[in-house]
């Protein structure tokens, strides 16, 4: 009776915990230096990345979803950053208005990971800002 259960258990793929990566650094955005912390995990099979980017200067947090694709000269990181569950603006004047508008702009994070360094950019509203991060965990 236990033999079929053991056989099925042996065929099931092993679930491996995904290590959490933490990166810290800064970018100069609109003449001000902003400190950032990027925290994420990567699925080793699909290379899908999920986590968050924290602006430590302003206290804002953005959800990060993207990929970390390995390559011969490092890995290519691309992630869409969204405001997530932040408060939304709902306003109207004489029947015209906005609904569900986030006061935080979405952004795109992209660049190359070489060893413990990320060199890339944060694109907000079509403008690219250089961003350098160092792995701390």
What was the pLDDT predicted at 88? 45
How much is the pTM?
0.75
User: Would you say residue 12 lies in a domain?
Assistant: no
Number of domains making up the chain? 1
- Here the CATH number for the domain that contains residue 43 is 2.40.128.120
25-51: pLDDT as tens digits: 999 988 899 999 999 999 999 999 999
pLDDT at 96: 61
Q: What angle is formed at CA 91 by the lines to CA 90 and CA 96, rounded to 5 degrees?
A: 125
User: Which residue numbers in the chain have pLDDT < 70?
Assistant: 1-17, 84-105
pLDDT computed for residue 97 by the predictor: 55
d(CA 57, CA 30): 13
Residue 89 pLDDT? 44
Helix (H) or strand (E) holding 107: strand 107-114
Domain containing residue 57: 17-135
Query: Is the residue at 27 inside a domain?
Result: yes
Q: How far apart are CA 122 and CA 107, in angstroms?
A: 7
């Amino acid at each position: 009776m236990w033999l079929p259960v053991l056989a099925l258990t042996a065929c099931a793929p092993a679930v491996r915990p995904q290590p959490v990566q933490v990166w810290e650094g800064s970018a100069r955005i609109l003449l001000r230096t902003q400190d950032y912390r990027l925290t994420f995990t990567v699925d080793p099979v699909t290379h899908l990345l999920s986590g968050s980017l924290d602006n430590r200067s302003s206290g804002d947090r953005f959800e990060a979803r993207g990929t970390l694709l390995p390559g011969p000269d490092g890995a290519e990181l691309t992630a869409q950053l969204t405001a997530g569950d932040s408060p939304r603006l709902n306003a109207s004047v004489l029947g015209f208005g906005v609904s569900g508008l986030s006061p935080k702009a979405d952004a795109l994070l992209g660049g190359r990971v070489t060893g413990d360094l990320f060199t890339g950019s944060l694109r907000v509203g079509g403008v690219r800002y250089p961003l350098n991060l160092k792995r701390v965990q």
